[in-house]
Amino acid sequence: MVEGAKPYWALRNDLFPEDGLVILGDRIVVPVALRNKALGKIHKAHLGIEKAKAKARQSLYWPAITNDIVTMIQACRICERHRPLNRKEPLIPHEVPKYPFQKVSIDIMELGMTNYLILEDNLSKWLDIKKLNSKSSSSVISALRQTFAIHGIPEVIYGDNNPLNSQECHAYARDIGSQIITSSPEYPRSDGLAEKGVHIAKQLLKKCFDAKVNYLDALLEYNNTPLSGMNVCPSQILMSRTCRTAVPMLQRNLEPKVVNVHAELKRKQGQTKRQHDLHAKVRSQVYQPGSPVAIRRGKKWEKGTVVRKHSAPRSYIVRTLDGRILRRNTFHLQPSKTRPDSHDTPMDVEGCMESVLNTNPVMTETHTETFVPTEPNEGEALDHDEDGLGQDQPGLDPQLATSHQNPSQSALTGRTTRAGRRVKPPMKYGYDE
Ligand SMILES: [Zn+2]
């Protein structure tokens, strides 16, 4: 048999010559030499794999045409760049706290030229909003101090890299015996429930701003209004009493009453998880260091390489083509089979190093570019996303707060303040497995 004719043997009774072409049913059989050109035509509009297959079924045929179409589209950088978002993954809820103010979540909100620190107690859902002088770490710490002075020091403080992933904030947390846990940039979804409180506070602030109502009055009402689906309000869970507000209330209902909502909250959390997971998809993809990936940045998928796994679940440290080191949740990663095209930024290590040298090692006020010290000799620029969705930095390991107390690290040189407090040099942030 002629070389290359074998795949056609089974079809020999359906093949017909017509106008100098070989026809299979309604489809033109494309010779090897013309297949690449045909693929280019099929994919000219950059439609997806299914559309391309359907188009081919309409008019063209060669053995393994479907495979060739799949391979071509998987390698198409244009299609990859504009791929839709991944489907969300099942929730990994934080464990419901055992007591009030064991765990809190914080966030910063900017409204009408003023910055606010929003804090939620993860058990009682009690909210605190404090005006900040600036977005600086010291301003955030001072606000936290005021709240902790009343309700105690939480074991864990959850929040975004900004403001929490600064040396100052970590030093403060170590000092008070607390642990900071940051979420992946652009993906603050590890606990849907914790996120909700911050969202509620933001809504409340916006509405008060519009209605010219003092937000503190509104905050008091919120904290003393029953939580949805429950018969208790945040203040009652936190302080075992409902506070007196502008809304009249019988005196006996203002007397202290202890409530324990742990079981109820656990049940609610399970409910939220089940609901969320109905539309979620488990991604089993594991990325090895060095493997090529597409990274979601803004509204597009950029090209990059996996540096290593981050200690947080579903979190990786990746390097973009222009040398940026980012932390990304698997929600914002996809395996990549494409080659960079002319729209991809070429590697620019020199420019990248320059920005490292010119950037303050702690959180900057302007949010334009932030450098977080990594390992010695591994200075790399870490900047934030162009569209301001989140801070692109390697987050700090949840374990890091404790690892800092490890005596093996005391070998690091440091200095002592006049008050006698030991100040360590920039720590290696992030990255440790
Ligand atoms: Zn394409």
Q: DSSP string spanning 32-61?
A: GGGHHHHHHHHTTT---HHHHHHHHHHHEE
pTM exceeding 0.85:
no
Tokens of 289: 């260091």
Could you tell me the maximum CA-CA distance found in the chain, to the nearest angstrom?
99
Q: What is the CA radius of gyration of the chain?
A: 28
What does each of the 433 residues of the chain score in pLDDT, given as a tens digit? Answer: 666 777 788 788 888 888 888 888 889 999 999 999 999 999 999 999 999 999 999 999 999 999 999 999 999 999 999 988 888 878 777 788 999 999 999 988 888 889 999 999 989 999 999 999 999 999 999 999 999 999 999 999 988 877 788 999 999 999 999 999 887 655 555 544 456 777 888 889 889 988 988 999 999 999 999 988 888 999 999 999 999 999 999 999 999 999 988 888 888 888 888 888 888 888 888 999 999 999 998 888 999 999 999 888 888 999 999 889 998 888 899 999 999 988 887 654 333 333 333 333 322 222 222 233 332 222 222 322 222 223 333 333 333 333 333 333 333 334 444 555 544 433 333 332 2
Structure token pair of residue 168 = 């100052």
Nearest to residue 338, comparing CAs of 72, 84, 49? 72
47 Cα–ligand 1 center, Å: 7
Q: For residue 254, give both structure tokens.
A: 């203002």
How many CB atoms within 10 Å of residue 375?
A: 12
**Phi and psi based region of residue 186 (left: phi greater than 0; alpha: psi -120 to 50; beta: remaining):** left
Query: What CA–CA distance (Å, rounded) separates 236 from 139?
Result: 29
Q: How far is the CA of 48 from the centre of ligand 1 (A)?
A: 7
CA of 344 to the centre of ligand 1 (A): 15
Distance 140 CA to ligand 1 centre (A): 46
Phi/psi-derived region of residue 388, left when phi > 0, alpha when psi is between -120 and 50, beta in every other case: left
Do residues 431 and 289 lie in contact, with contact meaning Cβ atoms separated by under 8 Å?
A: no
What's residue 355's pLDDT?
A: 34
Give the Å distance between the CA of 132 and the centre of ligand 1: 48
SS3 111: strand
Structure-token match 């916006």, residue found: 206
CB 162 within 8 A of CB 367: yes
Q: What is the pLDDT of residue 80?
A: 93
Query: Helix (H, G, I), strand (E, B), or coil: what is residue 26?
Result: coil
User: Which pLDDT score, from 0 to 100, does residue 230 have?
Assistant: 86
d(CA 329, CA 343): 24
Distance 24 CA to ligand 1 centre (A): 27
First to last CA, the chain: 59
C-alpha of residue 76 to centroid of ligand 1, in Å: 5
How many angstroms separate the CA atoms of 103 and 148, rounded?
12
The neighbour count for residue 313, using CB atoms within 10 Å, is 13
* CA nearest neighbour of 297 among 184, 400, 414: 184
What b/e readout covers 116-152, taking b as 16+ CB neighbours within 10 angstroms? bbbbbbbbbbbbbbbebeebbbebbbebbeebbeebe
Q: Which pLDDT score, from 0 to 100, does residue 427 have?
A: 37
Gap from CA of 43 to ligand 1 centroid (Å): 6
How much distance in Å is there from the Cα of 4 to the middle of ligand 1? 29
Given CA atoms 206, 145, 156, 430 in this order, what sign does their dihedral have?
A: positive
Could you tell me the distance, in angstroms and rounded to a whole number, from the CA of residue 78 to the centre of ligand 1?
5
CA distances from 179 to 156, 266, 397 (A): 5, 23, 10
Q: Please give the Cα distance from 147 to 178 (Å, whole number).
A: 14
